[in-house]
Homo-oligomer: A and B are copies of this chain.
Amino acid sequence: MTQDKQIQSISEFYYPNEPTGPAMKTSLPGPENQKALAKLSKVFDARAAYFVVDYFKSNGNYIVDVDGNTYLDVYAQIASIALGYNNPALIEAVKSDKNINTIVNRPALGNFPPNDYADTLSEGLLAGAPQGLDKVWLDLSGSGANEQAYKAAFMYKRGQERGYNTPFSEEELSTTMANAKPGSPDLSILSFESAFHGRLFGSLSTTRSKPIHKLDIPAFDWPKAPFPRLQYPLEKFEKENAEEEARCLAEVERLLKTWPSPVAAVIVEPVQSEGGDNHASPDFFHKLQKITNENKALFIVDEVQTGVGATGKLWAHEHWNLPTPPDMVTFSKKAQAAGYFYGNPEILPNLPYRQFNTWCGDTSKAIVAGSIFQEVLKHDLVARTARVGDYLYGKLEELSAKFPTNIANLRGKNKGTFVAWDMESPAVRDNFLKTCRENGLNIGGCGPQSVRLRPALTFEEKHVDIFLSIVDKVLSL
Contacts and interface: CB of A to CB of B under 8 A. Distances in A.
Contacts of A332: 358
B216 A155 contact: yes
A81 interface: yes
Interface in A14-69: 36, 39-40, 42-56, 58, 63, 66
B55 A352 contact: no
A215 B171 CA distance: 11
A66 B151 contact: no
Interface in A170-223: 172-174, 176-180, 183-188, 198-203, 205, 208, 211-222
A105 B81 contact: yes
Contact of A140 (B87, B140, B178, B198): B140
Nearest to A66: B115
Contacts of A186: 218
A447 interface: no
A111 B50 contact: yes
When all copies of this chain in the complex are counted, the total is 2
Interface in A327-364: 332-333, 336, 348, 351-359, 364
A144 to B, nearest CB: 7
A361 to B, nearest CB: 9
Given A53-B113, A81-B105, A211 B168 contact: yes
A102 interface: yes
B112 A50 contact: yes
Contact of A179 (B101, B102, B177, B220): B220
Given A43-B121, A55-B102, A211-B168, A111 B218 contact: no
Nearest to A33: B115
Contact of A144 (B51, B177, B200, B351): B200
| Interface size range on A against B | 35 or more
A95 interface: yes
A60 B112 CA distance: 16
Contact of A356 (B48, B50, B357): B48
A226 interface: no
A126 interface: yes
Interface string A98-113: 0011111111111111
A141 interface: yes
Nearest to A193: B177
A176 B425 CA distance: 24
Contacts of A178: 224
A109 B52 CA distance: 9
A142 interface: yes
A369 to B, nearest CB: 11
Given A91-B104, A201-B200, A78 B43 contact: no
Nearest to A109: B44
21 contacts: A36-B118, A42-B122, A45-B137, A49-B113, A52-B114, A53-B115, A56-B97, A56-B101, A63-B112, A80-B106, A90-B104, A103-B368, A140-B140, A154-B217, A154-B218, A168-B211, A176-B215, A177-B208, A179-B224, A188-B218, A220-B220
